[in-house]
Amino acid sequence: METAGGMLSRMIERTIGWVILAALVGLGVLIWQMSPETRSAIIGGIWRSIAWLLLAAATPWAAALVIRRVLSAGSNAAGFGLLAALSLVNILTGVALLTGWPTGAWGWSAAVGALLASGTYNFLVAQYLAERAGQ
C-alpha cells in the first residue's frame, strides 16, 4: 500500500515533467519562428555551450595524472594551485568557444554562475581522486 506522500510526490514529479516539456516545446517554437540569422546565432551558442559543458566535465579527470604529486606536497597551496589551473582551463575554453568575453549583465551572470558550478565540480572530482589515490 502506498502512502499519501508517495502518491502526491509522484503526481508532483509528473506535473513538473510536463511543465518542463511544455516549456522546451514552447522555446523550440519561439526559436523556429525567429529570423534565420537570429536562429543560427542561438543554435550556435547552444552547441558551443554544450561543448564547453562537456569539456568542463572532462577536464578535472585529467588531475588523476598529477594527484599523487599534489598529495605528496602536503600543503593546501598545491591543492589550490591544481584547482586554480583547472579553473583557468575552464575560463580559457569558455572564452575560446563562446568567441570572447561575455557582454551585459546577463552574460556576466551566466559566466560567473558557470564558473562557480565548474569550480565546485572541479573541487569534488579532485577530492574524489585524492581519496582514491590515498587508498
Q: Is residue 82 part of a domain?
A: yes
Element (DSSP H or E) covering residue 35: none
Q: What is the DSSP-derived secondary structure letter of residue 52?
A: H
Tell me the pLDDT of the chain averaged across its residues.
Answer: 87
**Distance in angstroms (rounded) separating the CA atoms of residues 5 and 73:** 51
- For the whole prediction, is pTM greater than 0.85? no
Q: Is residue 38 part of a domain?
A: no
Q: First-to-last CA distance in the chain? A: 44
Q: What is the pLDDT of residues 66-123, one digit of tens each?
A: 888 888 888 888 889 999 999 999 999 988 988 888 888 988 898 899 999 999 999 9
Do 57 and 113 have their domain in common?
yes
C-alpha grid cell, residue 119: 569550480
Q: Domain range holding 27?
A: 1-33
**Distance in angstroms (rounded) separating the CA atoms of residues 63 and 132:** 12
What pLDDT score was predicted for residue 89? 93
**Distance in angstroms (rounded) separating the CA atoms of residues 113 and 115:** 5
Residue 47 has pLDDT above 70, yes or no: yes
